[in-house]
Amino acid sequence: MFLTGVKSLICRSATGAWARLRSDGGLVGRFRCSRAAGEFFADPVVHTVATTGSEVMIAPWVLGFRKAKEMLFTGERISARDGLMAGMVNRVVPREKLEEETLAMANRIAKAPPFAIRMTKKSLNRGLDMMGFRAFLQAHHHTHLLAHQSAETKRLFATLNPENVVQIAKDQQK
């Protein structure tokens, strides 16, 4: 479950396929630089796991409900550029500049007074909570647990093995 009260990275780089939106808050609360060539976002959880995955918690807050439903229901990819437009990442840069750009952003943030950064982050997170983010996470978590009890999910999980999971991940990156 996503935790808003813990210290975490503020700036991070990302490459390759983002096959899931990540329940650890990878798309919420961090500045993120991504490379452009070949990068995409996809979340085929409804088509591959047959249950409401934990990444469902993050998608509506980042993408808006309509785009989140489209991506989650269809499993279709979103290009890095479209991800930038949707607010999934802060910048899209060429791979060879990724580390440089990420460090530049991190250094810029590091120049700000640490207390001011912490208080601003806390204020923003509290604002999310006031808009219902924490309640949404809790409600979704209950749905997620209930979904694990469905016959559909139990049948699917019974067929999964490490090789199948690896193949599913490879197929998603094509």
Q: Give per-residue pLDDT as tens, 38-83.
A: 677 766 666 665 555 655 677 788 888 888 888 888 878 778 888 8
pLDDT at position 8 is 56
In a domain, 133, yes or no: yes
* Structural domain total, the chain: 1
Q: Containing domain of residue 106, as a range? A: 11-168
The answer for residues whose C-beta is within 8 angstroms of residue 75's C-beta and 6 or more apart is 42, 43, 44, 45, 46, 47, 48
Q: What DSSP element (H or E) covers 41? A: strand 40-41
- Residue 5 forms part of a structural domain: no
- pTM for the model stands at 0.63
Residue 153: inside a domain, yes or no? yes
What is the per-residue pLDDT for 171? Answer: 66
pLDDT < 50: residue spans in the chain: 1-4, 6, 17-26, 28-29
CATH of the domain at 30: 3.90.226.10
Nearest to 15 by CA among 69, 108, 83: 83
Q: Shortest CA distance to 128 belongs to which of 64, 67, 61?
A: 61
User: Is the residue at 2 inside a domain?
Assistant: no
Classify residue 68: in a domain, yes or no.
yes
Does the residue 3 lie in any domain? no
Q: What pLDDT does residue 53 have?
A: 60
Provide the 8-state DSSP code for 160: -
Q: Give the per-residue pLDDT at 122.
A: 92
